């Protein structure tokens, strides 16, 4: 166990936490009321504020939010405050369509985003296109997070559990509790993971600020080491901010697992309260991580890019001689593992529901709900097996392609956000816009052309073309 970050009690705590997830899965199985897709994929549509909010919170904040955001703030300084705004903007995105979608979904018993597209436009090709984009984005999310959890397990156990074994072990735990109780198990485990994440960030913030001081206490040192943190944002910086905001506003707000959580709310009031709590969370989760990372620049000034991703851990390790710090480090690791697991399990559940409801059910319309639920569970195991294989075996050179997700996913936003308010919007206009947006984005990303012309993301250019095409085709249809 040379170089292990967790001591034996830390590994024991983590093992108990993982075991508790399986037990929650069993509890979810016993709590299920019927063998139906509605019960399995939406938890019977009965989540109250606590569970709904915590599952939204844990799902939205992935491992990247905990580790990647701190690294980014360390490298870019106060410019990365944009992350606080964009995490809030996602809720603004929900507000554009969730109030009406929730009512329609309640009345029509929707399970997936494909159900809404099918109901709204009645066009198989468009529904399958949207579902395919959703599956691609979610599979991508699963892959990157599985790879991250493999690295974390390997590092914190000092290599006692290797990268591949770590991925297989975590994937096995997730697929077991997911197939036992479906959304109920996922949401309940998310609730535990959400609490761990919040407590982890809060306690770590308190410990680090107490021992290292705040950015105000370290002002002179930070200013002398990183003067660029205090210069005015350039026009290019500001365009980058705007582009990121647009991409996240339209991309993350239409994630299929987020829409599934909107469907699963017990009632409208529950959904509204959960969203209101979600708006506050960037100030309590993202902001503390930025402050920690900027404080770190005064104490760990020369970190490389990969080292900067471990900046929180480095700060905690330097305090390891202080009594009780082992527990704080364990809490940080548990919070990171929780953030990743809650994202992967939700993505897996959403993909399985998209496959079962929008693809398999269409091919075999006469099958019973019991049969469909069974197919969904089998699919989850196959999917997880495939994702684990890819996470372990894909060469790093093609990881860039896999990271293309939001840029493509945000192209489905007009189909949902405009479709819900614009009664006469035709499926041909939506399909044309979506097609042009996706193709243009892929050309920018995969060809040798600059992927961010004028500092604007390829996905945002794609979205602009998507909307222009949509309005043009809709205008021609109306003119006939």
Task: Give the residues lining the site for other proteins (CB under 8 A).
Answer: 78, 81-82, 84-85, 88-89, 91-92, 95, 99-100, 102-104, 106-107, 214-219, 222, 229-230, 232-233, 268, 272, 275-276, 279-280, 282-283, 287
User: 90: which residues sit within 8 A by CB, 6+ positions away?
Assistant: 60, 248, 249, 252, 253, 278
The residue among 172 and 209 lying less far from other proteins, judged by its C-beta, is: 209
The residue among 77 and 251 lying less far from other proteins, judged by its C-beta, is: 77
Handedness of CA 420, 422, 423, 427 (dihedral sign): negative
The residue among 86 and 188 lying less far from other proteins, judged by its C-beta, is: 86
- Rounded Cα distance between 422 and 383, Å, is 36
In contact, 70 and 312? CB cutoff 8 Å: yes
Instruction: Provide the token pair at 410.
Output: 């945000």
The residue among 99 and 385 lying less far from other proteins, judged by its C-beta, is: 99
The residue among 222 and 335 lying less far from other proteins, judged by its C-beta, is: 222
Minimum CB separation of residue 281 from other proteins in Å reads 10
The residue among 217 and 236 lying less far from other proteins, judged by its C-beta, is: 217
User: 171: which residues sit within 8 A by CB, 6+ positions away?
Assistant: 146, 344, 384, 387, 388
User: 262: which residues sit within 8 A by CB, 6+ positions away?
Assistant: 94, 98, 101, 102, 105, 271
Beta bridge partners of 265: 47
For residue 397, CA distances in Å to 154, 273, 363, 394, 448 come to 22, 43, 37, 8, 16
The residue among 252 and 344 lying less far from other proteins, judged by its C-beta, is: 252
Minimum CB separation of residue 288 from other proteins in Å reads 12
Minimum CB separation of residue 100 from other proteins in Å reads 6
Cβ of 360: how many Cβ atoms within 10 Å?
A: 17
The residue among 40 and 116 lying less far from other proteins, judged by its C-beta, is: 116
The residue among 189 and 218 lying less far from other proteins, judged by its C-beta, is: 218
For residue 334, CA distances in Å to 156, 330, 456 come to 10, 6, 36
Minimum CB separation of residue 287 from other proteins in Å reads 8
Minimum CB separation of residue 410 from other proteins in Å reads 18
The residue among 47 and 275 lying less far from other proteins, judged by its C-beta, is: 275
3-state secondary structure of 304: coil
Instruction: Provide the token pair at 123.
Output: 């066009």
The residue among 24 and 287 lying less far from other proteins, judged by its C-beta, is: 287
Minimum CB separation of residue 239 from other proteins in Å reads 13
Minimum CB separation of residue 219 from other proteins in Å reads 5
Minimum CB separation of residue 309 from other proteins in Å reads 22
| Residue 64 DSSP symbol | I
- Rounded Cα distance between 480 and 187, Å, is 49
Minimum CB separation of residue 2 from other proteins in Å reads 39
Supply angle C-alpha 151, 155, 157, rounded to 5: 120
- Rounded Cα distance between 459 and 465, Å, is 10
Minimum CB separation of residue 222 from other proteins in Å reads 8
The residue among 219 and 389 lying less far from other proteins, judged by its C-beta, is: 219
- Rounded Cα distance between 162 and 341, Å, is 18
The residue among 19 and 95 lying less far from other proteins, judged by its C-beta, is: 95
For residue 193, CA distances in Å to 53, 162, 199, 202, 340 come to 12, 23, 10, 14, 9
Which residue, 172, 197, 169, is CA-closest to 64? 197
- Rounded Cα distance between 86 and 239, Å, is 14
Minimum CB separation of residue 283 from other proteins in Å reads 7
Minimum CB separation of residue 330 from other proteins in Å reads 30
- Rounded Cα distance between 285 and 62, Å, is 12
| Residue 46 DSSP symbol | -
Minimum CB separation of residue 218 from other proteins in Å reads 7
For residue 170, CA distances in Å to 140, 166, 220, 384 come to 17, 6, 44, 11
Supply angle C-alpha 152, 64, 91, rounded to 5: 145
């Amino acid at each position: 166990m040379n170089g292990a970050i967790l001591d034996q009690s830390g590994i024991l705590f983590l093992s108990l936490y993982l075991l508790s997830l399986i037990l929650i899965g069993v509890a979810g199985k016993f709590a299920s009321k019927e063998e139906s897709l509605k019960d399995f994929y939406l938890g019977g549509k009965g989540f109250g504020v606590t569970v709904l909010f915590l599952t939204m919170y844990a799902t939205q904040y992935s491992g990247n939010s905990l580790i990647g955001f701190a690294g980014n703030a360390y490298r870019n300084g106060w410019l990365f405050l944009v992350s606080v705004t964009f995490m809030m903007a996602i809720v603004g995105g929900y507000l554009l369509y969730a109030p009406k979608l929730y009512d329609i979904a309640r009345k029509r018993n929707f399970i997936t985003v494909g159900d809404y597209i099918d109901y709204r436009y009645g066009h198989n090709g468009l529904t399958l296109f949207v579902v395919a984009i959703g599956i691609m984005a979610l599979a991508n999310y699963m892959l990157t997070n599985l790879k991250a959890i493999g690295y974390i397990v390997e590092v914190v156990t000092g290599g006692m559990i290797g990268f591949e074994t770590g991925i297989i072990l975590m994937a096995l735990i997730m697929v077991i509790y997911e197939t036992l109780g479906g959304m109920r198990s996922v949401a309940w485990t998310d609730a535990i993971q959400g609490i761990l994440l919040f407590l982890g960030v809060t306690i770590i913030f308190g410990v680090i600020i107490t021992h290292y001081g705040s950015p105000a206490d370290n002002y002179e040192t930070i200013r002398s080491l990183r003067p660029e943190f205090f210069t005015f944002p350039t026009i290019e910086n500001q365009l980058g901010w705007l582009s990121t905001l647009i991409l996240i506003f339209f991309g993350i707000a239409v994630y299929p697992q987020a829409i599934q959580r909107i469907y699963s709310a017990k009632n409208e009031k529950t959904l509204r309260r959960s969203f209101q709590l979600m708006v506050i969370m960037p100030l309590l989760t993202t902001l503390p991580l930025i402050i920690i990372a900027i404080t770190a620049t005064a104490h760990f000034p020369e970190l490389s890019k990969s080292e900067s991703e471990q900046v929180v851990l480095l700060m905690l390790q330097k305090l390891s001689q202080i009594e009780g710090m082992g527990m704080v480090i364990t809490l940080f690791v548990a919070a990171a593992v929780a953030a990743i697991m809650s994202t992967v399990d939700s993505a897996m559940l959403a993909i399985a529901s998209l496959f079962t409801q929008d693809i398999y059910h269409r091919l075999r319309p006469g099958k019973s709900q019991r049969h469909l639920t069974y197919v969904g569970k089998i699919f989850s195991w196959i999917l997880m097996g495939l994702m684990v294989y890819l996470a372990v075996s894909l060469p790093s050179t093609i990881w860039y392609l896999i990271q293309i997700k939001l840029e493509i996913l945000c192209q489905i936003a007009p189909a949902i956000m405009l479709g819900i308010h614009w009664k006469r919007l035709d499926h041909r206009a939506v399909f044309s816009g979506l097609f042009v947006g996706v193709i243009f984005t892929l050309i920018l990303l995969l060809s040798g052309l600059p992927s961010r012309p004028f500092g604007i993301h390829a996905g945002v250019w794609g979205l602009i073309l998507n909307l222009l095409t949509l309005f043009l085709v809709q205008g021609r249809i109306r003119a006939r």
